[in-house]
Amino acid sequence: MVLGFYCDLLSQPCRAVYIFLKMNKIPFEVKSVSLLRGDNHNKDFRKVSPIGRLPVIEDGGFILTECVAILKYLAVKYNVPDHWYPRTDLKAQARIDEYMNYQHLNTRTNMAMLFQNLWLLPMMLNRPIDRKKVDRYSNNVGVVIHQIDEYFLKDNRPFIAGDNISLADLLGLCEMMQLYACCQEKFIESNPKVNAWAERVKLKLAPYFDEANVEVNITRDKFMKSAATQPKL
Ligand SMILES: N[C@@H](CCC(=O)N[C@@H](CS)C(=O)NCC(=O)O)C(=O)O
C-alpha cells in the first residue's frame, strides 16, 4: 500500500517532509488537509490523528505524527543516501539530532510567532499588529540566527552536520521560510554565513524546494499588498 501523506504545504514541517519524499523518490499519496479551512479538526482526520496537527504519515496502517520522527522513519525505512541521517557516523548523527531538538523552541517557535504576529493574526482577526510581540519575536529571531551562525555553522561548515545536506538543514531552512513569507528575510540576508548556507541548501533541494514553496510566495505577495496599505509595518 502506498504511503499516505496528510499535509498542507502552508505548513513548514509538511514542506520539509514533502521535499524529502520527492528528493528520495519515495512513492506517496497526498491526502490534502486544509489548515485554513480547519480540516485538521474534522472527525475523519481526528480518527487518523487525535492530535489534529500536520504532518502525518500512514504506512500500511502505521500512523506517525511529528516531522522529526517521520523523517527519521522514512530515512531508515527507504535506506536513503547516508548524508540525510548517517547510520554509522555517530557524531554526525548526533549533530543532526542536536539541531532538530534545538529547532522546535528556537528556530520554529520564534520564526512562526513572528510570522503569525506580523501577518496571520492581524489578517485573520482583522486587528492591529501587536508591536510589543513583534519586537519580542524579532529580537528572538536575531538571537537564533546568531546562534546558528556561531554554533551550528561554526568552523565554516557548509552544512549543519558537515560537508553534505542532512535532515537538520532541510528542517532549518523550511522553518526560516516563514521569515520570507512576511518579508523579514533581512534577518538571514544580513548574516553572510547563514545566508550562504541558505543558498547552498536551496541548491541541494532543487527543484523541489521551489515546488514546495509556491504557497509561501503567494503569502508573501499578499503580505506585500497588505503592507502597502498600512502606514507603518
Ligand atoms: N511538532 C510538530 C508540529 C506540528 C504542527 O504544529 N503543525 C501545524 C502546522 S505547521 C498544525 O498542524 N497546526 C494546526 C493546529 O495546531 O491546529 C511537528 O514538528 O510535526
Residues, the chain: 233
Cell of 119: 501577518
What is each CA distance from 211 to 15, 22, 118, 123, 138, in whole angstroms?
A: 9, 10, 25, 25, 28
What tens digit of pLDDT does each residue of 110-119 get? 999 999 999 9
Structure confidence at residue 226 (pLDDT):
83
Return the ligand 1 atom nearest residue 67 CA: 20
Instruction: Report, in angstroms and rounded to the nearest whole number, the Rg of the chain calculated over CA atoms.
Output: 18
pLDDT of 230: 61
67 Cβ closer than 6 Å to some ligand 1 atom: yes
State how far the alpha carbon of 214 is from the alpha carbons of 4, 55, 117, 139, 211, in Å: 22, 18, 22, 28, 6
Which helix (H) or strand (E) element contains residue 3?
Answer: strand 3-7
Is residue 189 within 8 A of residue 180, CB to CB? The reply is no
Tell whether the torsion through CA atoms of 85, 90, 92 and 95 is positive or negative: positive
User: How many angstroms separate the alpha carbon of residue 67 from the centre of ligand 1?
Assistant: 9
Q: Give long-range contacts, CB 8 A cutoff, 24+ apart: 219-222.
A: 219/10, 219/119, 219/181, 219/182, 220/180, 220/181, 220/182, 220/183, 222/123
Q: 149 CB under 6 A from ligand 1?
A: no
Range 90-228: architecture per CATH: Up-down Bundle (1.20)
DSSP at 142: H
Q: For 18-72, how does the pLDDT look when each residue is reduced to its tens digit (9 = 90+)?
A: 999 999 999 999 999 999 999 999 999 999 999 999 999 999 999 999 999 999 9
> Tell me, what's the pLDDT at 227?
72
User: Domain ranges in the chain?
Assistant: 3-80, 90-228
Instruction: Say what the pLDDT of residue 16 is.
Output: 98
d(CA 100, CA 84): 13
> What's the predicted TM-score (pTM) here?
0.96
pLDDT attached to residue 229: 59
Q: Which residues contact 213 (CB under 8 A, 6 or more apart)?
A: 9, 15, 177
Query: Which residues in the chain land under pLDDT 70?
Result: 228-233
Report how far ligand 1's centroid is from the alpha carbon of 155 (Å).
Answer: 33
| 8 Å CB contact between 24 and 80 | yes
Strands 28-32 and 3-7: parallel
Closest CA to 101 of 152, 154, 155: 152
Q: How far is the CA of 60 from the centre of ligand 1 (A)?
A: 23
Nearest-atom number in ligand 1 for the CA of 14 is 10
Q: In this structure, are residues 84 and 165 in contact, taking their beta carbons and an 8 Å threshold?
A: yes
The fold adopted by the segment(s) 3-80 is Glutaredoxin (3.40.30)
